[in-house]
Amino acid sequence: MYNAIEACDAHILQFGGHKYAAGLTLDEAQLPHFRKAFEAYCAENVTAEMKTPELEYDAVASLDQFTDRFYAVLSQMEPHGEANQAPRFLIENLVDAGGSKAVGGEERHLRVVFQHPGSATTMTGIAFGQGTWARHLEAGGAVDIIASLEINEFRGQRNLQLMVEDIRSAQGKS
């Protein structure tokens, strides 16, 4: 983003930024010219690969690995933030264990109860902005997820839960 804005500096009064943010000031009369230059830069420099979201994870895991003891070890890596991201896991071939459903205003979010087929181990979690996956899970579809672990405290109960960042259909498994 910074490079694209910098390429349009002839139309900008001032700008600045860094890896995670950029800002600029321009004269309103320059907006159409800036827009044209910005779009031209993007058309020439932004590749299809750049437009494809890339999801990174630290390890492949299964639900039975997520124990209180495992979480205690992960907690030793805190505090988490920009320079020290919480570990994220790819967990493959999960199905609804019963109870997964769309929640929140306009059912935008997804409360999940997952298990691996044939396993008795279940785990709950939340997937913000992923409510549309409820139908897929209700129909018995398997999914792969990227998630981190957190503690959910509710009415005096503390439980491990998944913070689901992304969901995709389990290829060839649903």
Burial (CB count within 10 angstroms: exposed 0-12, middle 13-18, buried 19+), residue 134: buried
How high is the pLDDT of residue 143?
Answer: 93
Reported pTM? 0.70
How high is the pLDDT of residue 40?
Answer: 94
* C-alpha–C-alpha distance, residues 112 and 32, integer Å: 46
Nearest to 108 by CA among 126, 128, 125, 138: 128
How high is the pLDDT of residue 10?
Answer: 92
Tell whether the model's pLDDT for residue 119 goes beyond 80. Answer: yes
Which range, of 25-39, 56-70, 71-85, 127-141, averages the lowest pLDDT? Answer: 71-85
How high is the pLDDT of residue 160?
Answer: 93
**What percentage of the chain's residues is helix, strand, coil (to nearest 5)?**
30, 35, 35
Helix (H) or strand (E) holding 11: none
How high is the pLDDT of residue 13?
Answer: 92
The pair of three-digit structure tokens given for residue 124, joined into one six-digit string: 């709950």
Tell whether the model's pLDDT for residue 7 goes beyond 50. Answer: yes
How high is the pLDDT of residue 172?
Answer: 52
C-alpha dihedral sign at 54, 60, 63, 66: negative
Rounded-to-10 torsion of CA 52, 53, 56, 61: -100
Query: pLDDT of 46-77, one tens digit each?
Result: 888 887 777 789 999 999 999 999 999 998 88
Domain annotation for the chain: domains and CATH numbers:
2-51 (no CATH), 59-169 (2.40.50.460)
What share of the chain has pLDDT > 70, as a percent?
A: 97
The pair of three-digit structure tokens given for residue 110, joined into one six-digit string: 């997804």
